[in-house]
């Protein structure tokens, strides 16, 4: 119509999230933190600082799982 190429609207046809299946594993912890911080437009310097503290926390607790730390094992990090 009128020489314009009309493209069909893509609203409602595609989900913005990628499907999670055998070919797309769930992102690791630091990648999840990075994604949330970018979603909320944190500064790159803040992102790096937070990720550094998270890495220190993980190393301090010798790579224990979240479930192990939920039982109170993570309470001594700031007091050492």
On average, the pLDDT of the chain sits at 76
Structure tokens at 80: 């050492």
Mean pLDDT: which of 4-8, 42-46, 70-74 is highest? 42-46
Which of 8, 32, 12, 9 is closest to 20 using CA atoms? 32
Structure tokens at 52: 């550094």
pLDDT tens digits, 24-44: 788 888 999 999 999 999 999
Structure tokens at 8: 């069909």
Are the CB atoms for 30 and 55 separated by under 8 Å?
A: yes
Helix (H, G, I), strand (E, B) or coil at 38: helix
pLDDT band at 4 (very low <50, low <70, confident <90, very high): low
Residue 20: its pLDDT value, please? 61
The DSSP string of 1-16 is: -TT--PPPP-TTTS-S
Residue 62: its pLDDT value, please? 82
Distance, in Å, from the CA atom of 30 to the CA atom of 36, rounded to the nearest integer, reads 10
Q: Quote the pTM value.
A: 0.55
């Amino acid at each position: 119509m009128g020489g314009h190429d009309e493209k069909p609207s893509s609203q409602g046809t595609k989900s913005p999230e990628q499907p999670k299946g055998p070919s797309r594993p769930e992102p690791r912890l630091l990648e999840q933190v990075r994604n949330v911080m970018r979603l909320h437009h944190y500064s790159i310097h803040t992102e790096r600082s937070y990720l550094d503290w998270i890495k220190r926390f993980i190393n301090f607790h010798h790579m224990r799982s979240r479930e192990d730390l939920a039982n109170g094992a993570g309470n001594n990090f700031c007091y050492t």
